[in-house]
Structure 1
């Protein structure tokens, strides 16, 4: 195979998508990326790491500000421009890192709208991992403290943040199945079987 494979995993918090991604990367013997991407993009651009965190964390994303001009088009703004530290340029640098990595190696990556950034790239498998609400609450309670009500509020807020982030830069709907090649219910399958299902789908894709 001449071209490296990329498996992008979008996931609901509490669905175990990150765990599945790490399992899969280990099974396949390839790299796993998550938040490392923003550090790499910060290093390459020279833009403060904290600004990447603010955009990704939803601090600057507001639905009312959505317009077509914010959609990702692959262009980078130079340091002498006042738009250099704009949300759009910060996203574009993340996307550049993702694309550059795909030229060098195969990997599994979580988040960052990679399913959209690499939507036209061959040998890219786009996955969405979701789970029933009670399952997500149970899984989230193992990572964050608080009452069930507080955890549920956190999950709702995180879902909203991801929807708004995805919409701002792609114009699409984050949890729309048509944006992915494979959607998996981790609450029914379990993490190990999710990883196995992705691996099986990957083999089918590569053998077309």
Structure 2
């Protein structure tokens, strides 16, 4: 938790209830220790989708489908979501959840490693005006070149978990050895986003940290 827990709890108390089926999926994911987007990020996505009304959404990292289903609640009628997942057990659960909520016509789940799928989509000339990055944090920097090929001017890229629950501000030796590669790559990613001439980026200390990047 980056912000004060009491403040976060109070803000959450002001939020409206999500649809019952989504709430069930969220609760089950938490029971199963599946990492899903936190409440502040849910609220941010809802606000951005209702404000921007994108036509095509790309999500990198479907997990059990919760975030795609959440976005499908607030996007426009003609909008479509393409989401990517490589873990077989999560793919199976995501398909089950998408069917349970009845969003098969709104969400396309592509199975495979995100790096390979992104390269394929970019080669096909696909364009997405709204992207949500929520996959392996150490790979964000490697995904960026193909992301850039598919994000048109005016499009937005939202990247989740970029502050790693505050650990990103630590020195390399202030994090556990097994997390040092992820730590250094995320710092590189944040620097790249905030210094690229193609982007206007802000970093928000909500959830585990979120960036909003608009393609100029």
Q: TM-score category by the smaller chain? A: 0.3 to 0.5
Highest relative contact order (Cα 8 Å, sep 6+), 1 or 2?
A: 1
Q: TM-score, normalised by structure 2?
A: 0.33
Normalising by structure 1, we get a TM-score of: 0.34
Q: Which has the higher strand share?
A: 2
